[in-house]
Amino acid sequence: MKIKEILSVLEEMAPLAYAEDFDNVGLLVGDQNAEATGALVCHDALENVIDEAIAKKCNLVVCFHPILFSGLKKITGKNYVERAIIKAIKNDIAIYAVHTALDNHQDGVNKIFCDALGLKKTKVLIPKPNFIRKLITYTIPENAEKVRNALFEAGAGNIGNYEDCSFNSKGIGTYMGNEHSNPEIGERFEFVESEEIKIEVTFEKYLEPKILKALFKNHVYEEVAYEIYDLQNPHQNIGLGMIGEFESPMDEKDFLALVKDKMQADGIRHSAFLGKSIKKVAVLGGSGSFAIKNAIQADADAFLTADLKYHQFYEAENRLLLADIGHFESERYTKNYIVDFLRKKILNFAIILSEENTNPVKYL
């Protein structure tokens, strides 16, 4: 098995197109055409993790956080990033990062967070904007079903919990081919009026090449008429953060005790107690201060995230309980999810969960 075969499974789990523009995801180091000897899954691809990969004969390290985040002008080993990269290259170890590609997935980081707490009725807190496009095309009735099914197979027509969604309407199309044409109906230089079906489907924008390939392959016309539009609708199943509910409300102190236990947090910083019960909870794994207002707008009773600064606790505005449970802690089960996903998809191959704790924050 080549490394690139594992990467295709990782992209199935967390499409790179889901990642934020500022992020650095995908294959960061290594040759995807090399034969894979094993995959080590970790949170951070630090030097000690590369040592672990060497010891366990894994030439692919799958990490959540990208060890290479911004550009490097020199690689001299002067810091932890450069040392890890040098060791990986010297030992022919590839490094692949998922980060916000998995953050934005409906089954990713924040769903894992919600599941760990036992939250139900979950939905994305900040749906991803500018990610949906619409395709409109026209064909004869005899060809409509074939075209429609091909578009569905390519990934078009998914709306929330529904698939194979389309809108179809009848109309009259007209055309006249020139001397170079080869019309499906009629002859060259003949003005043709033909009954046609207008097909409309939506799709995630990164699928456009695949959608168009399916359209051209299955359409009967020599020249395929089609239109593609960007939609303003946010994608309800892709985006940052998540909000869910407990089956029964609980006291604020009991809630934080539950969070501390389930997320194995050594300490939780939080805003003032408001004396109200907690039922609806927003979460955002990692640094999530930018989503405080979103949590308030969603009527959350509490918002769990990490890396909050002093003044950001004021932004709770006595409207919700705001808690910083730690960056690593809020994402701690992500690597377990990746391992489970890969083991279900790739059989008889070494998928290993890293034993290294890469949390740089310690507590007294």
How many Cα atoms within 13 Å fall on the side-chain side of residue 234? 12
Residue ranges at the known binding site? 65, 103, 327, 331
- For residue 46, the model assigns a pLDDT of 98
pTM: 0.90
Residue 154 has pLDDT above 90, yes or no: yes
Residue 70 has pLDDT above 90, yes or no: no
- For residue 171, the model assigns a pLDDT of 97
* pLDDT average, residue stretch 265-281: 97
Q: Positive or negative, the Cα torsion across 215, 216, 221, 224? A: positive
* pLDDT average, residue stretch 4-29: 96
- For residue 161, the model assigns a pLDDT of 87
* pLDDT average, residue stretch 233-259: 97
In the block, residue with structure tokens 């769990």: 304
Q: What would the pLDDT profile of 85-143 be if each residue is shown by its tens digit?
A: 999 999 999 999 999 999 999 999 999 999 999 999 999 999 999 999 999 999 999 99
Q: Classify domain 3-98+333-353 at the CATH superfamily level.
A: NIF3 (NGG1p interacting factor 3)-like (3.40.1390.30)
Residue ranges at the known binding site for a divalent metal cation? 65, 103, 327, 331
State how beta strands 321-324 and 302-306 pair: parallel
Average pLDDT value over all residues in the chain:
96
Q: What would the pLDDT profile of 165-194 be if each residue is shown by its tens digit?
A: 999 999 999 999 999 999 988 999 999 999
* pLDDT average, residue stretch 52-63: 98
As a whole number of angstroms, the distance between CA 65 and CA 209 comes to 29
Q: Which CATH number fits domain 132-233: 3.40.50.150, 3.30.70.120, 3.90.1200.10, 3.40.50.800?
A: 3.30.70.120
**H/E/C letters for each residue in the chain?**
CEHHHHHHHHHHHCCHHHCCCCCCCEEEECCCCCECCCEEEEEECCHHHHHHHHHCCCCEEEEEECCCCCCCCCCCCCCHHHHHHHHHHHCCCEEEECCHHHHCCCCCHHHHHHHHHCCEEEEEEEEECCCEEEEEEEECHHHHHHHHHHHHHCCCCCECCECCCCEEEEEEEEECCCCCCCCCCCCCCCCEEEEEEEEEEEEEHHHHHHHHHHHHHHCCCCCCCEEEEECCCCEEEEEEEEEEEEEEEECHHHHHHHHHHHCCCCCCEECCCCCCCEEEEEEEEEECHHHHHHHHHCCCCEEEEECCCHHHHHHHCCCCEEEECCHHHHCCCHHHHHHHHHHHHCCCCCEEECCCCCCCCCCC
With cut-offs at 50, 70 and 90, classify the pLDDT of residue 71: confident
Residue 10 has pLDDT above 90, yes or no: yes
- For residue 72, the model assigns a pLDDT of 87
Domains 3-98+333-353 and 105-128+239-331 share a fold: yes
Q: What would the pLDDT profile of 312-354 be if each residue is shown by its tens digit?
A: 999 999 999 999 999 999 999 999 999 999 999 999 999 999 9
Residue ranges per structural domain of the chain: 3-98+333-353, 105-128+239-331, 132-233
* pLDDT average, residue stretch 46-71: 96
- How far is residue 205 from each of residues 128, 136, 152, measured CA to CA in Å? 12, 14, 14
* pLDDT average, residue stretch 268-289: 97
As a whole number of angstroms, the distance between CA 2 and CA 31 comes to 10
Q: Classify domain 105-128+239-331 at the CATH superfamily level.
A: NIF3 (NGG1p interacting factor 3)-like (3.40.1390.30)
